[in-house]
Structure 1
Amino acid sequence: MLEAAFWGFVGGAALLIGALAGVYLSASLRLIGLVMAFGSGVLISALTFELMREAYDVAGSTAAIAGLFAGSLVFFAGDWLIDRHGGHRRKSPRGPQAGAGATALVLGALLDGIPESAAIGVSLIDGAGVSVAVVAAVFLSNVPEALSASAGMRASGRSTGYVLGLWSAVTAASTAAAALGFGVLSGADPALTGTIQAFAAGAILTMLVDTMVPEAVEHAGALVGLLTALGFAAAFLLSTA
């Protein structure tokens, strides 16, 4: 469990790196959009070739697809509720919408980050060691995600202490999610483990299309497709190495 917690922290620590960059560096909206696109491609590749492939192998097609849609529906429902309470566009470098509450922003960050970290913990269960591709994908996608959201929160008047405190809390939650993902499911039926992996994949995929990709397209335009493909290719090569 300690190993799972460590790798969860590694993935979550990227949020702090991105937050520091968003607060202290003056990155252009276009650059932020391009980096978000690359991170999206990395995560799409990881959830395809690591999470869903493993889910299919150990749980079968029916459980894998059911888990995928269940994760998607749960994220959709949670995201809808958070949007209604002011968490809409929480990843925008221009700042969240007016009136966005602290609770909505925190819950939104947790909703986005926990499925990724849980997937890291679950990847350790087979005893073959952590999935480097999944950790790298989470790390590389968390940096632009936190960079964009932090720049936006600062633009909307949030203090540096608030921004860094938020991402520190999410990093702690990510560490715990990875540990719990391993601890709770260690020794469980492989079919259940595979279904949980597919669940995480569905939540991550829905998060990408609902929040990260639209922001990337808005700020970086037509080049987003190319950068997403580049991120996908980089993660694919890592998963096959």
Structure 2
Amino acid sequence: MLTMLLVVVIVSAALLLGAAWGLFGKLPKGLEGFLIALAGGALIVSAMEELIRPSIETSGLLPALGLVSAGAVVFTIADTLVDEVWGSDSGGGLLAAITLDGVPENLALGVALIGAGPMAVAALAGSIFLSNLPEAAGGAKSMTDNGRSKGQAFALWAGTAALLAGAAVAGNLLLAGASDAALGLIRCFAAGAVVASLATEVFPKAYREDSYLAGIATAFGLVVAAALSHLGGGGG
């Protein structure tokens, strides 16, 4: 329980720190793009090694891959609707996209904490932390640019942090008694949503902000997460 609470606090704090950074500090575009790409590379490994691969072993190849595809389809449909309502470049659109991405991410994080080793948890939690930090900074700044006060923008991101923390706690507590096969399918659905968000939200933004260095940052993130996964002995 203590490990779960510590991880949830760390991951959710990224949204609060990022929002404060965007509202009250200066955020170099190149650094923002580099960090987003770094996180994206790490999430590729985490999604595969901590969510998908172990689930194939417990739930079977076809069901696991089917749920990965379903997660990607559901996220893409929801993300498209968000872009039509708020606009893909607005702070509100980014906030909604992070929520759509973050709920399955944090559910997966909560599930991953069930019986997982410390390095495996660190790889997934660290990846989510790195992706949330710059995205919250950019989204909060966009909100103030579009007329919201700094207090309103920060309150919205604080509410999102609370929602995502609740998702992680729910994933850990409500699914503690679920079978390995059922947990595997849930992880695969979440992984599909995460992968879709990387393709549509994370990597395009990283490239816009940091150009070709985004490719190097992605590789760095992949290497770091692969090392953590290897030290932790693979998935949970």
Alignment TM-score, normalising by the size of structure 2: 0.89
Provide the residue aligned with 2:109 in structure 1: 120
Whole-Å separation in 2 of the counterparts to 1:46 and 1:54: 11
* 2:19 is the counterpart of 1:19: yes
Provide the residue aligned with 1:93 in structure 2: none
Matches within 5 A, 1:1-241: 4-89=4-89, 96=90, 106-126=95-115, 131-241=121-231
Whole-Å separation in 2 of the counterparts to 1:82 and 1:65: 26
User: SS at the partner of 1:131?
Assistant: helix
Letter in 2 for 1:135: A
Whole-Å separation in 2 of the counterparts to 1:107 and 1:15: 13
Query: Are the aligned partners of 1:19 and 1:150 in contact in 2 as well (CA < 8 Å)?
Result: yes
Query: Are the aligned partners of 2:94 and 2:139 in contact in 1 as well (CA < 8 Å)?
Result: no
Report the CA distance between 1:235 and its aligned residue: 1.1
Corresponding residue pairs, total? 230
Whole-Å separation in 2 of the counterparts to 1:144 and 1:58: 35
Whole-Å separation in 2 of the counterparts to 1:3 and 1:189: 21
Aligned residues: percent identity? Answer: 35
Whole-Å separation in 2 of the counterparts to 1:148 and 1:127: 32
Letter in 2 for 1:107: A
Query: Are the aligned partners of 1:12 and 1:117 in contact in 2 as well (CA < 8 Å)?
Result: no
Query: Are the aligned partners of 1:39 and 1:144 in contact in 2 as well (CA < 8 Å)?
Result: no
Moved more, 145-154 or 68-77: 145-154
Whole-Å separation in 1 of the counterparts to 2:183 and 2:139: 32
Please give the root-mean-square deviation of Cα atoms over the aligned residues, in Å. 2.0
CA gap 1:168/1:194 in 2 versus in 1, 3 angstroms: same
Report the CA distance between 1:175 and its aligned residue: 1.2
Alignment TM-score, normalising by the size of structure 1: 0.88
Whole-Å separation in 2 of the counterparts to 1:135 and 1:37: 16
Report the CA distance between 1:8 and its aligned residue: 2.3
Letter in 2 for 1:74: V
Letter in 2 for 1:40: G
Moved more, 128-137 or 9-18: 128-137
Unaligned ranges ≥5, structure 1: 90-95
Report the CA distance between 1:214 and its aligned residue: 0.7
Q: What is the CA deviation profile of residues 62-100 of structure 1, one whole-angstrom value per residue up to 9, with x for unaligned ones?
A: 1210111111011011111111111413xxxxxx1xxx7
Q: Which runs of 4+ in 1 moved over 4 A?
A: 127-130
Report the CA distance between 1:6 and its aligned residue: 4.3
Whole-Å separation in 2 of the counterparts to 1:50 and 1:153: 34
Query: Are the aligned partners of 2:95 and 2:139 in contact in 1 as well (CA < 8 Å)?
Result: no
Unaligned ranges ≥5, structure 2: 232-236
Whole-Å separation in 1 of the counterparts to 2:2 and 2:71: 26
Report the CA distance between 1:207 and its aligned residue: 0.7
CA gap 1:127/1:37 in 2 versus in 1, 3 angstroms: closer
